[in-house]
Amino acid sequence: MAKFPEAIARLHQNVFVCKKCKTKIRSNIQKIMLGKISCRRCKSKNFRPIKKGK
């Protein structure tokens, strides 16, 4: 049985990885795109979706 593929996809889409220090941030894609989120370790605003990594 499929176990909530939509929920899983949503979870993964809401996780981003800092391009600089590889810190994982969980946030809205909208907030990321608006530049409202900055990495809590290096303050960078360069994120990529975690999907690419894995």
**Which 20-39 positions form the footprint of Zn ion (CB under 5 A)?**
20-21, 23, 39
Smallest gap from Cβ 37 to Zn ion, in A, equals: 11
Among 10, 41, 48, 51, binds Zn ion (CB under 5 A): 41
Continuous segment of H or E residues that includes residue 15: strand 15-18
| Interface with Zn ion: number of residues (CB under 5 A) | 8
CA proximity to 13, closest of 44, 51, 47: 51
Please say whether the beta carbons of 28 and 14 come within 8 A.
yes
Sites of contact with Zn ion (CB under 5 A): 18, 20-21, 23, 39, 41-42, 44
